[in-house]
Every structure is written in C-alpha cells, then in structure tokens.
Amino acid sequence: MSAGKNILLIISGGIAAYKVLEVIRRLRDREINIRAILTKGGEQFVTPLSVAALTENKVYQDLFSLTDEAEMGHIRLSREADLVLVAPASADILAKMATGQAGDLATTALLATNKPVMIAPAMNVEMWNHPATQANIATLESHGVIRVGPSAGDLACGETGSGRLAEPAEIVASVLDFLEGQSATKPLAGKKAVVTSGPTHEPIDPVRYIANRSSGKQGHAIAQALANAGADVTLVSGPVTLPDPVGVTVVRVETARDMLAAVQNALPADIAVCAAAVADWRTADEAGQKLKKDGSGIIPDLKLAENPDILATISQSGASRPGLVIGFAAETEKVTEHARAKRARKGCDWILANDVAPDTGTFGGDLNEVFLISGDDAGADEHWSRQSKTGIAGALCARIIKHFS
Ligand code: CTP
C-alpha cells in the first residue's frame, strides 16, 4: 500500500547519518520514492553520491542552485512528498525548525512544506537532555511533528544515555505505519488511472518529424493531482521538457501508435484522461534515410496517413473500457458546440472543452479555461474560469472524486 508513495528525506549532520543509508534501502525495497536533501553538516558524514545511488534520484543541496530551481523548486520539493522525514535530526536543525528559520535548502523546505513531518533525532545525551532541545521538541510536537526515538544506549561520542538514532527498522516501521494509515483515507485510493499528455512526434525521416506546440503542462498536472488524491497513475507522455510528476509511473512515447499501445498496456483502469495533443496524421511512408535535396528543385511530396484515435479507441473498447473516460476538445471556434459533437462521436463520458485560438495562449501556456461537458444537456455544462493548469487539474480531480463517491 505504500509503494509509489513519496518521501522527502532531509539528512542533517551527525555521525548517525550513515544509518540512514540503510533506511533508504529498506524504503526503496518497498518501492517508496525518495528525494533527498543533504545539509552541509550531513555531507560531512555521507556523500551525495551514495545518497543519489541509493535513492536513485538527484540529491538536492543548494537553495540557490539555479538548475535545481529550474528543474524542481524548493517549494515543489517540499509539497510533492507524502511525508517529510528528517533523519538524523540534529539539535541544530530541530532548533531551526522550532524557530522557523530558513537559511538553507533543508530549513526552507521544512518551513515551506504543507505535508506531515517526521523527525528521528540523534545527538549527544547532554544535548538531548538540555532544556533548550527539550523545549524545541515540545514546540515541534505541538506543531504536529511526529517523532521516532531517540533511543538510549552507547553513543558515538563515547557517552551513554538517550540520543541514539532510532534503529533503521524502527524508522522504516514508523514511516510505513504513517503512509499506510494515510492511503486508507485518500479519496482515490484503490483507483487506477491512465493519463495521456504532451504532443506526439511523427517521423518523416530519421531527423525530421511532424509535431505540435503542446507542452504537456495540463496532462502532467492532472496526473499529479490524481496521484495526490491516492490514485495509482500511469502517465503516457509524448516528448516534453517537464519533470516527471511525483509518485506516478511515466511511460515515454514518441508516436501516436506507440501512445495507443502504451495506453492499452496500462489497462484495465478505472479512469482514463486523454489530455495529449495527438498528431492526427503521420507520414504514410517514413523514409529510412534522411531525405536529400537533389538539386532538381523537386520538393518531396509527403503522403499522410491517419493516426489511430486513442480516446475513441478506448472509449469503444468494450470490456476493457475504463469506467470513466475523459477527453479534451481543443477548439478555435464554437467551442462547446464542437466539443459536444466530439464527445458523442468519440464515445467518451466527459469532454473538457478549451479554446486554443492563438490569442488565448492556452496551447503551450500556463493558463486554461474549460467547459466540462458531461451530458447532452447544454444547461448542465460547468465553466471553470481562466486559471492555472494546476488549478484546472485540481477542479477535474475534485469532480472525479465526486463522481466516484
Ligand atoms: N485524441 C486522441 N487520439 C487522436 C486524436 C485526438 O486520443 N489521434 C484525443 C485527444 O487527446 C483529446 C481528444 O481526442 O482528448 C480531442 O482531441 P482534438 O485535437 O480536440 O480533436 P481531434 O480528434 O483531433 O479532432 P479535430 O482535429 O477534428 O478537432
């Protein structure tokens, strides 16, 4: 039940950091995804390379790294986890957390997160017993922070007492308890969804292709929203430059035919959302070698063939048809009228109609405005005003949750 969940692991400074490598391994064995932030102190005890190798992910270290911000900003890093785990949590990071400091990537992510936080403190016994640390722990617990350990025993500093990092098995058990309790309450837990996103590329020859301006932003945001709501999501994506949504199985494809095969492979599913801007045509005779200008001035005559319609195919797929099939209608005029006809023609349940006329900036942009058409009656259309594509994804997800409840 915890497979596919996401943890943001913050490794702060302390000799016990080496034990966290074992925690990572055990969580990865359970197919839990881990993104790690390594503090400057943490880096003294474990290397970024070992953390990256074990998490199978990039390790984040620098608040002001432009590359990291472009790929995955610190806000997103802190928001896309089901749980933020601080292990080992040093006296220093606990003090910073308790007083809301944000001087580096780890503390900024901790202050910015709206997700549950678990700490596994580790430090010298006197540091642990110090009234300042105890007051910080009391403050953090009053904020809802979950604590694992520390345990008592021999400490790395040679002293004995409370302050030992909880054993890896105990930390892993606490994480699993938490995640399993959490998934039971998510509204789409147990539901499987397949989402298509992005453009398709249809090759003309080995170096040229037919494509469109789709960015994949809307489809990727929908996949993320469904995963956040507890669904088991497969995202079939054409070529895009976006990062993968967290906690989602991503299948990358190029052509419409590959996209159809990947979608069919992901069935059965309860929900299908076709947000991809699939190329309607491909070249009928893809050239095996690069087409050359031969100097005669004769321009190659591209013959086109129609691509399979993925939305129509799965809407009409009989026994393997998902219970709820949702498509988009990209229109430049008579938006709801064309979309209603498209819904009937393709046989899907709902159509999200959007205006993609060039002056709207919808295609490839960050904003969208949608009419949800869920039946033949125009009076029942819902209008979702112009907002971020993430906002539209959230509205669709809420509507899907309502449909199943
Ligand atoms: N779609 C699909 N496979 C295709 C073409 C479209 O799955 N080969 C899906 C899109 O993902 C979208 C819906 O069908 O959910 C409508 O796409 P749209 O581009 O609006 O319509 P078309 O089917 O291409 O029709 P037209 O070009 O005539 O508007």
pLDDT tens for residues 119-162? 999 999 999 999 999 999 989 987 888 999 898 777 777 777 78
- Could you tell me the two tokens for 86? 């601080």
Is 397 known to be catalytic?
A: no
Residue 49 covered by a domain? yes
pLDDT, position 70: 60
pLDDT, position 104: 93
Same domain, 111 and 219: no
Q: pLDDT tens across 70-86, in order?
A: 656 777 888 889 999 99
Same domain, 128 and 261: no
CATH assignment of the domain containing 280:
3.40.50.10300
- 387 pLDDT band, cuts 50/70/90, is confident
Same domain, 240 and 321: yes
Residue 1 covered by a domain? no
- 228 pLDDT band, cuts 50/70/90, is confident
**Domain final residue, candidates 158, 183, 208:** 183
Predicted TM-score (pTM) of this structure: 0.64
**Domain final residue, candidates 183, 211, 233:** 183
Same domain, 201 and 165: no
Give mean pLDDT, residues 324-336.
Answer: 94
Same domain, 123 and 155: yes
Under a CB-based contact definition with an 8 Å cutoff, are residues 148 and 120 in contact? yes
Give the whole-number percent of the chain exceeding pLDDT 90: 70
Segment of 70-74, 209-213, 364-368 carrying the highest mean pLDDT: 209-213
pLDDT, position 195: 98
Residue 356 has pLDDT above 90, yes or no: no
Residue 326 covered by a domain? yes
Quote the Cα angle for 80-83-84, to 5°. 90
Pocket test for ligand 1, best of 334, 335, 342 (most atoms within 8 A of CB): 342
Domain membership of residue 225 as a residue range: 192-287+297-404
Q: pLDDT tens across 3-45, in order?
A: 899 999 999 998 999 999 999 999 999 999 999 999 999 999 9
Residue 63 has pLDDT above 80, yes or no: no
Residue 40 covered by a domain? yes
pLDDT, position 52: 97
CA of 379 to the centre of ligand 1 (A): 24
- Find out whether the beta carbon of 329 lies less than 6 Å from any atom of ligand 1: yes
Same domain, 316 and 356: yes
Same domain, 11 and 69: yes
CATH assignment of the domain containing 25:
3.40.50.1950
Q: What is the DSSP string of 202-241?
A: EESSSS-EE-----SHHHHHHHHHHHHTT-EEEEEE-S--
Residue environment code for 352-378, b if the CB has 16+ CB neighbours within 10 A, otherwise e: bbbbbeeeeebbeeeebbbbbbbeeee
Phi-psi region of 335 (alpha: psi -120 to 50; beta: other; left: phi over 0): alpha
Residue 356 covered by a domain? yes
- Could you tell me the two tokens for 375? 């039946």
Residue 292 covered by a domain? no
- 66 pLDDT band, cuts 50/70/90, is low
- Find out whether the beta carbon of 356 lies less than 6 Å from any atom of ligand 1: no
308 labeled binding residue: yes
Q: Tell me whether strands 33-38 and 304-306 are parallel, antiparallel or unpaired.
A: unpaired
280 labeled binding residue: yes
Same domain, 160 and 257: no
Q: Which letter does DSSP use for residue 405 in this model?
A: -
Residue 400 covered by a domain? yes
Tally of domains within the chain = 2
Same domain, 177 and 227: no
Atom of ligand 1 nearest to the CA of 310: 7
Same domain, 271 and 381: yes
Same domain, 90 and 207: no
Q: For residues 70 and 68, what is the distance between their CA atoms, to the nearest angstrom?
A: 5
pLDDT, position 218: 95
Give mean pLDDT, residues 281-288.
Answer: 94
Same domain, 304 and 349: yes
Under a CB-based contact definition with an 8 Å cutoff, are residues 302 and 285 in contact? no
Q: pLDDT tens across 232-280, in order?
A: 999 999 999 987 887 788 999 999 999 999 999 999 999 999 999 999 9
150 labeled binding residue: no
**Domain final residue, candidates 151, 183, 215:** 183
